Structure 1
């Protein structure tokens, strides 16, 4: 795998998910499956099936907090299953009026609860990791208990953040805003090409006597600004932009839009 393409791993995963969705949709049409009831995706009780379903593939991931990544076009089955839960839930929600009206209304509560979920998950992640490097590493019950709790809270954190941010963006970004739309349109381009400039800037700034936090912010700001300029003048209104986000027409005023 060429290093500058390694960050595209999720596109490989997405190809598999879309292919699987196409198969399931074809079967659903052939068997005349009915849509799931609205409460199944719109009620807070959805966590009673989403959390256990996500817990299973997350249980097999032990190297990081949260889901693993993989640079291979052939995905690791637990990782693919993990993202398939989120992809599948999104598909079930499509066209559900109850989901559009109800989900995210309690976004402050979701985001607030996500904080202890994150802290508890990181706590047990640290305890789990320490068992690999101490004399207690042969104490399987402790290792398993810490892993189960780390898995549970990492899954809870993921879903609380999902529903919290759905509500947050509906609350503050649901109305038309050209600037927000512009940044949204550019995000795919930024994702595809951000790694090379960031790597070059890291090499260039590695020996600078600046605080690490300043370097991080500087690299993000410079790379984002440069890529947005390229997006405006060489991508957005070209065939590349049409492939990424659909055809755009430049405004006469010259302002982004």
Structure 2
């Protein structure tokens, strides 16, 4: 099958994925129809549901990478399971919660909105699935017991030359930073004192470092633990948004990125130490 067929097949599966989730959401009573959004909003939300599925499917068809596809299946299955199993979504007027005499027309949804949050945050999930795919690719090119990828990526030889490794890490860091800055902005992450611009600049630099460092260690030195931890951070961060929690986990991830970077460096040092011990034996 040609690369064009792989792409078209992936987009078709992505469209089916989006269509099924949207049909379920409409059946549950969520306001996710085309008339509820502007053209830009519609493209972002519907397109996000297409891309978040198309990317893992394309990686599976093109390079036989199965981990992103498994991650997609688990995530989508979780979302549908939470929506369709009891207790299911409950719609309540604020007046009922506040014991007001007249209805306000403001509706609160309890035990639901999983599909809506999945749709809105699809870009973050996509980055997480990409990191999962990169990890699988690196692991399968390292251990001979695992089957090789069907089509080795010419520009992603691991270990990569210094200059190429820096470029890959820089691009991966930019993708991570762009998505996480947008994620923070969407969630309304702020700081007192009217210095939001400085906060977002600080967070953007941190988000870039937090991804670029482990990606460099992966593609240049074949250290898998830092990139694995980064992937866990990303997926856990976006998964936490399924629950309505006043203590926003992303605010901590975005503002205290140096803690996560420190953990990445620690596990990288431990892996490097064990590898050196193994080399001396």
Provide TM-score, normalisation by structure 2. Answer: 0.27
The TM-score with structure 1 as length reference comes to 0.29
